[in-house]
Structure 1
């Protein structure tokens, strides 16, 4: 069984690399949003033209990014959404809700400090992990039935 995994959420740490490296021996493929922050922010105006108003600048970028995000989530078997410590990731919460609405298997990844704030998001998930290693262990168990140890 091959699993398609979509890795959504914060872009400021190496959590994606930790998961992809840890799952290198598993029958999985990964997809994610564009993680180059500047490219993600500016894609709309770079492609469709400048905007004087920051609202329209951001909206153009968000809409273009949504093309990739919607396709990635729709085609995924499992969606992993990471909430980082430093920033409020409203887009990650939206991705989690979109994945849940599509009935996707959802793994939420965050530290204990976000447990209360994300309780509704966590309730929609099939698993809530605190480390990328736990996500890899979940994938390993799902694919092979093997426990850590």
Structure 2
């Protein structure tokens, strides 16, 4: 069996590499996808495709259209979504992606530190599994592969 896992969440830390490395160490047959991790490319993709926009708001709106298209397609193909909430960055995209996964009835593992329990209580309650660490998320996925 092979799983396709969409890694939703902030793009400024190495958490995706940590998930991928741990999955590889465990020998899990997983294909990963996620948002564009190159922040500059993500911010400029609208202008790359549509041309220079007249102001910053329209530049952001153009980029969001293409970033949302990417997310929609890749999440639709995913068997499982992992939404990561760290402590350092704002997590609006993580919350939006977790909500989309729930609306699409995609299995969802939520990773969030205990100190974010209160602000994420509604999302956590609807996720299939809520864990505090990447290690725990990989333990859950490893369990899926067990016979």
**TM-score, structure 1 as length reference:** 0.92
Q: Spell out structure 1 runs of 4+ moving beyond 6 A.
A: none
DSSP-derived class of the 1:5 partner: strand
- CA deviations 1:52-108 (Å, max 9, x no partner) are 322111111111011110011111110001112122221211111111011000011
Unaligned runs of 5+ in 2: none
What is the distance in 1 between the residues matched to 2:129 and 2:32? 18
Superposed CA RMSD in Å reads 1.2
Residue in structure 1 matching 2:87, options 85, 88, 99: 85
5+ unaligned residues in a row in structure 1: which ranges? none
Match of 1:69 among 61, 71, 74: 71
Provide the secondary structure at the position in 2 that maps to 1:142. helix
**Residue from 25, 32, 36 that aligns with 2:38:** 36
- Equivalent residue pairs, number: 145
